[in-house]
Structure 1
């Protein structure tokens, strides 16, 4: 079965969350989100911890709590196969997405899933529970 993945968005290095939505985040969550946006690539929790040490974040649990909160709010997603996180543009916070990941450099594209794809996945039972779609390829830069 081939999936129709339309509307490919290359992940951009900007956060277009509404300003008051970002301000309502706890400080550590805001710092983690900013670090993910600046990185513009999937980051592991310990990489984020290293990036944030100079801003006063020194405990792994602080980063993990912020990641959990940001995931819960839809600001970020976990890329299961990389055990890493990526920031999402605001328009995709509540949308089902797939990830297209370069197997060499891990450059990641965020792909919103269209309604027909979601209907087919739902009919096949794939959407029962949590489903993650991660597609690996060799990008043109590698």
Structure 2
């Protein structure tokens, strides 16, 4: 699963992943549904089913604070199970990054607590460099 070309994608999963990849930024399930109506999508459940699998494969991340989904920009994301995003509240730009030191600290804490971690999504909200330059 280290490659984004996951061999077992269904047609719906491939279409949903394609729409997210082309968007280059976060989309809600309803925005995806609107984009894919011409491809036979009729119900939000079809989109959510595809998204659930894509998240499981590590190909897509859910941005909790935006209630939206974004295509993973790192190959092999399913390996580290942690995604971090900087979200600009001015222009809406989303940058994915991997904060190795923060991940190490979080894993150490979960191990100390005996907490079984399923996945971690870190979201930083603020203003990007480009928007700061304009203001």
Cα RMSD of the aligned pairs, angstroms, is 2.1
Where do 5+ consecutive residues of structure 2 fail to align?
none
Structure 2 length normalisation: TM-score? 0.80
SS of match in other structure, 1:91: coil
Which residue is equivalent to 1:74? 58
The equivalent residue for 2:4 is 17
Q: Deviations over 1:29-83 (max 9, x none)?
A: 0000000000001000000000001111111110010000101111101000000
Q: Give the structure 2 partner of residue 123 of structure 1.
A: 108
| Closer, same or farther: CA 118–140 of 1 in aligned 2, 3 Å | closer
Q: How is 1:1-142 mapped onto 2 (pairs within 5 angstroms)?
A: 17-18=4-5, 21=6, 23-89=7-73, 91-94=75-78, 95=80, 96-114=82-100, 116-125=101-110, 128=115, 129=117, 130-142=119-131
Structure possessing the higher relative contact order (Cα contacts under 8 Å, 6 or more residues apart): 1
